[in-house]
Chain A
Amino acid sequence: MTHPYIPNAEPGVRAEMLAAVGAASVEELYAPIPAALRLDRPLDLPEAMASEQELVAHMRALLGRDTDTVAALSFLGHGCYPHHVPAVCDEVNGRSEFLTAYAGEPYEDHGRFQALFEYTSMMAELLEMDVVNVPTYDGFQAAGTAIRMAARATGRSKVLLSGAVSADKLSKLHDFLDHDIEIRTAPVTGGGEIGEVEIDDSFAAIYLETPNVYGVVETRGRELADLAHAHGALLVVSADPISLGVLAPPAAYGADIACGDIQSLGMHQSYGGGHAGYIATHDEERLVAEYPSRLFGLAPTAVPGEYGFGDVFYDRTSFAHREEGKEWVGTAAALWGITAGVYLALMGPEGMRELGETVLARTRYAMDRLAEAGATVLHSGAVHFREFAIEVPDADALLGALRGHGIFGGVRLDGRTLLVCVTERHSRDDIDRLAAAVRKELS
Chain B
Amino acid sequence: MSGHAQEPFAKLPVAPKPPLRRFHQARWDEPIIFEQSRPGRRGIAVPAAGVPAVEPPETVRRARPPKLPEMSQLHVLRHYVRLSQENLGVDQAVAVGQGTCTMKYSPKVNEAFAAAVGELHPLQPVDTVQGVLEVYWRLERMLAEISGMHRVSLQPASGSAAIYANVAMIRAYHASRGEGDRRDQVITTMFSHPSNAACAKTAGYEVVTLMPGADGHPDIEALRAAVGPRTAALMITNPEDTGIFNPRIADFVDLVHEAGGLACYDQANANGLLGVTRAADAGFDLCHFNLHKTFSTPHACGGPAGGACGVVERLEPFLPAPTVERGGDGYRLDTERPQSVGKTRPFLGVTPNVVRAYAWIMALGGRGLREVAEIATLNNNYLMDKVLRIPGASAPWGRDRIEQVRYSWRELFEDTGVRSEEIGARAADFGVHYWTSHHPHLVPEPFTLEPTESYSREDLDEYAAILAHVADEARRDPGLVRGAPYNQTIHKIDPTPLDDPAQWAPTWRAYTRKHLS
Contacts and interface: CB of A to CB of B under 8 A. Distances in A.
Given A268-B118, A275-B346, A105 B62 contact: no
Contact of B49 (A106, A348, A362): A362
Contacts of B304: 273-276, 332-333, 335-336
A326 to B, nearest CB: 9
B508 A349 contact: no
A285 interface: yes
Interface stretch (A28-36, A183-191, A194-202): A28-36
Contacts of B351: 270-273
Nearest to A223: B59
Residue among A34, A126, A298, A324 with max Cβ neighbours from chain B (10 Å): A298
Interface stretch (A57-65, A226-234, A387-395): A57-65
A205 interface: no
B120 A270 contact: yes
Interface string B228-257: 000000000000000011010110000000
Given A132-B507, A332-B157, A172 B342 contact: yes
B370 A118 contact: no
Contacts of A347: 43-44, 46, 68
A135 B402 CA distance: 33
B80 A342 contact: yes
Interface string A48-69: 1100100110110011111111
17 contacts: A39-B278, A45-B142, A55-B109, A63-B135, A130-B510, A219-B59, A247-B61, A275-B157, A301-B491, A323-B198, A328-B164, A335-B304, A346-B43, A347-B43, A351-B44, A354-B46, A365-B51
A303 to B, nearest CB: 5
| Chain B at the A interface: SS class | loop
Contact of B363 (A49, A91, A361): A49
Given A39-B281, A313-B504, A322-B209, A344 B105 contact: no
Contacts of B123: 76, 78, 80, 411
Q: Interface size bucket, B side?
A: 35 or more
Contacts of A91: 77
Given A42-B367, A140-B345, A285-B501, A301 B352 contact: no
- State the 8 A-B residue pairs at the shortest beta-carbon distance, nearest first: A272-B347, A48-B365, A346-B43, A100-B89, A330-B160, A334-B302, A272-B122, A318-B198
A125 B200 contact: no
A62 B131 contact: yes
Contacts of A253: 59
Contacts of A128: 66
Interface residues of A, number: 207
B68 A92 contact: no
A109 B424 CA distance: 12
A309 to B, nearest CB: 8
B417 interface: no
B107 interface: yes
Contact of B368 (A3, A169, A303, A321): A3
A39 B504 contact: no
Interface stretch (B5-13, B25-33, B309-317, B406-414): B25-33
Interface string B102-139: 01011101011110111111111100111110110010
Residue among B51, B60, B347, B457 with max Cβ neighbours from chain A (10 Å): B60
A332 B305 contact: yes
A115 B80 contact: yes
A273 B194 CA distance: 26
Given A55-B363, A112-B301, 6 more contacts: A56-B109, A103-B302, A108-B433, A124-B508, A268-B118, A348-B68
A296 to B, nearest CB: 7
Contacts of B245: 32-33
Contacts of B203: 179
Interface in B326-380: 341-355, 359, 361-372, 374-375, 377-379
B369 to A, nearest CB: 6
A271 B490 contact: no
A330 B195 contact: yes
A318 B142 CA distance: 32
Contacts of A18: 378
Nearest to B91: A96
B117 A358 contact: no
A349 B81 contact: no
A412 to B, nearest CB: 9
Interface string B290-319: 101000001111111100000000000000
Contacts of A80: 121-123, 346-347
A427 B48 CA distance: 10
A254 interface: no
A283 interface: yes
A108 B239 CA distance: 29
Nearest to A99: B298
A155 interface: no
A397 interface: no
Nearest to A303: B491
Nearest to A423: B47
B506 to A, nearest CB: 4
A139 interface: yes
B103 to A, nearest CB: 6
Interface in A337-369: 338, 341-342, 344-355, 357-358, 360-365
Nearest to A313: B499
B1 interface: no
A424 B131 contact: no
B381 interface: yes
A96 B89 contact: yes
Contact of A349 (B67, B128, B378): B67
Contact of B510 (A95, A171, A249, A283): A283
A346 B305 contact: no
B88 to A, nearest CB: 5
Contact of B247 (A13, A34, A59, A139): A34
A295 B106 CA distance: 28
Given A21-B382, A105-B424, A271-B351, A65 B103 contact: no
Contacts of B48: 354, 358
A99 B374 CA distance: 27
Contact of B33 (A3, A64, A180, A345): A345
A260 interface: no
Residue among A78, A169, A270, A300 with max Cβ neighbours from chain B (10 Å): A270
Contacts of A125: 66-68, 508-509
A108 B488 contact: yes
Contacts of B379: 8, 17
Interface stretch (B14-22, B219-227, B434-442): B434-442
Contacts of A97: 84-85, 87-89, 91-92
Interface string B495-513: 1111101001111111101
B42 interface: yes
Given A67-B128, A112-B301, A285-B501, A364 B54 contact: yes
